[in-house]
Amino acid sequence: MDPSGLNILIVIIILLMLSAIFSASETAYSSISLIRLKTFVEDDKPGANKALKLAENFNETITTILVGNNIVNILQASLATIFFDRLDPRYGVLYSTVIITVVILIFGEILPKNYAKKNVEKVALTIAPFLTFLNYTFKPLTYCFVKLNSELLKRYEEEQLPTVTEDELMAIVENIEVEGVIGEEEKELIHSAIEFEDTIIEEIYTPRTDVVAIDINMNEKQIKEIILKYHFSRIPVYDRTIDNIIGIIYEKDYLAEIVEGKDVSDIRDLIRPPLFVSKNMRVSELLRLFKRDNIHIAIVLDEYGGTLGIVTMEDVFEVLVGEIWDEYDDVPELVKVVSDEEFIVDALCDITDFFENYLHLKVPEDAENDDIGVWVYNRLPSLPNINDSFDYEGFKFEVMKIENNRIIKIRVAKIKENIEE
């Protein structure tokens, strides 16, 4: 081999290395997370600033990479043809075509891209200075390509899809929980935060049958008994019917009047204006209203203007963090385990939790994330009565306690098969 042939071979090897760098860069910058890069910048990692700028200007960066890769691959093919033509003028073109195709495919594409896929951040940070230099070098050329590309895409522009859908984000959270990056409680909190925007008041409000309220026409003794018995910080006040809510009385205002020895026989001067909201309002919008007006309770109305119930700031927070109990709440025992095959269940128990953790069954398709009491109520053919029951997946669900047509306690027991001898 003459010296010129050796020089050509050395140049081909250098071009092959550049091809590998471009291919690895393409994979790395197509996969890199901007969030991760911003974290690296905050940590002052070498190359992070340059890598972030390259990733943020991805169209320009990918154009530089593709232009550079095509240039070095074309040069490789041309030099390989010259090199093999000198070795064998008859079959040199054939040799160069086959050999350079295989070499570029393996060493210039497959291997570097697989490596970059497994080491995205490392490759992106390492190559960032080199790509930044090329970006400036190819600036006039890449500008023309980017401009042409944007003009062509405008003609076929489709609706911009989100980078990550809500379901995909949920799946990501599930995966990082499995990998041990976050714990179960953190995962649940993230899920709740994602679902928060879609939650409406109808899903969280307290129904009117459970609302403690004061009739403005009650005497002083009756009003005092209600306030001191329930210790609610805010209580709705109505005039003759709960469908006519006229205000909210704050426990602290009422007790302050008593401490000061003032007459509290007429509470009209103590009640504050109520906030009325629709059951279809999003909880996120309700939270904005609470913050704007500096209040913690709202009256939920139906489509006819009647009172459906109330919703509080605590209800909103419970969407995110789960049940909150204060010092006056009687914390119920939601599930009493009688045996491995028998349970006494509070109607407020979450049906998903009970079915998955106690019965080890799939949640019924008609459950719709209900409390178990709601699900049992909907399965009964009429208003519930004590001892009403039905069978489901080998278990008997029996109503044990009711109040005002509302199910309070349910007995769930494994159905024992009768074995005839």
Residues 46 and 146 in one domain: yes
- Is 149 found in the same domain as 7? yes
Q: Clarify whether residues 36 and 120 are in a common domain.
A: yes
Question: Do 18 and 136 sit in the same domain of this protein?
Answer: yes
Q: What is the model's pLDDT at position 419?
A: 41
Distance CA 229, CA 225 (A): 6
Asked if residues 32 and 116 have their Cβ atoms less than 8 Å apart, the reply is no
In a domain, 137, yes or no: yes
Alpha-carbon distance of 310 to 333, in angstroms, equals: 25
Would strands 342-346 and 406-414 be described as parallel, antiparallel, or unpaired?
Answer: antiparallel
Name the token pair of 260. 């000061």
Note the pLDDT tens digit of each residue in 128-147. 999 999 888 877 777 777 77
**How far apart, in whole angstroms, are the C-alpha atoms of residue 299 and residue 312?**
9
Is 330 inside a domain boundary?
A: no
Q: Do 267 and 374 share a domain, yes or no? A: no
Does 297 score more than 60 pLDDT?
A: yes
Average pLDDT, integer, range 250-256: 93
**Residue 379 falls within a domain, yes or no?**
yes
Same domain, 45 and 120: yes
Last residue of a domain, one of 96, 130, 155: 155
Is residue 183 very low, low, confident or very high in pLDDT (cuts 50, 70, 90)? Answer: confident
| pLDDT score of 296 more than 90 | yes
How many independent structural domains does the chain possess? Answer: 4
Nearest to 398 by CA among 388, 407, 408, 385: 388
Q: Is residue 289 part of a domain?
A: yes
Q: What count of Cα atoms within 13 Å lies in the side-chain half-sphere of residue 344?
A: 8
* 326 in a structural domain: no
Q: For Cα atoms 370, 188, 42, give the angle at the middle one, nearest 5 degrees.
A: 155
Three-class secondary structure assignment of 109-167: HHHHHHHHHHCHHHHHHHHHHHHHHHHHHCHHHHHHHHHHHHHHHHHCCCCCCCCCCHH
Are residue 127 and residue 141 in the same domain, yes or no?
yes
| Residues 283 and 317 grouped into a single domain | yes
CA distance 78 to 93: 10
Question: Is 161 within a domain?
Answer: no
Of the three residues 155, 176, 209, the one that is the final residue of a domain is 155
Pick the more confident residue, 317 or 249.
Answer: 249
Query: Does residue 230 lie in a domain region?
Result: yes
Q: Are residues 148 and 36 in the same domain?
A: yes
Q: Is residue 421 situated within a structural domain?
A: no
Same domain, 305 and 372: no
Q: Distance between CA atoms of 50 and 37, rounded to whole angstroms?
A: 10
Say whether both 119 and 16 belong to one domain.
yes
* pTM, to two decimals: 0.52
Q: pLDDT for 12-23, tens place per residue?
A: 899 999 999 999
**Residue 299: CATH number of its domain:** 3.10.580.10
pLDDT number for residue 421: 38
Residues 10 and 107 in one domain: yes
Question: How many CB atoms lie under 10 A from the CB of residue 191?
Answer: 16
Q: Would you place residue 58 in the very low, low, confident or very high pLDDT band (cuts 50, 70, 90)?
A: confident
* Over residues 162-178, mean pLDDT: 68
Contact 345, 356 (CB under 8 A): no
Of 294, 321, 348, the residue at which a domain comes to its end is 321
Residue 409 has pLDDT above 50, yes or no: yes
Q: Which residue has the higher pLDDT, 90 or 336?
A: 336
| pLDDT number for residue 325 | 55
pLDDT in tens, 99-120: 888 988 999 899 999 999 999 9
96 and 186 in contact (C-beta within 8 Å)? no
More confident residue, 262 or 332: 262
Q: What is the pLDDT of residues 22-34, one digit of tens each?
A: 999 999 988 888 8
Which domain range does residue 241 map to?
Answer: 201-321
Mean pLDDT of 193-205: 83
pLDDT at 235 over 80: yes
Give the number of other Cβ atoms within 10 Å of residue 25's Cβ.
28
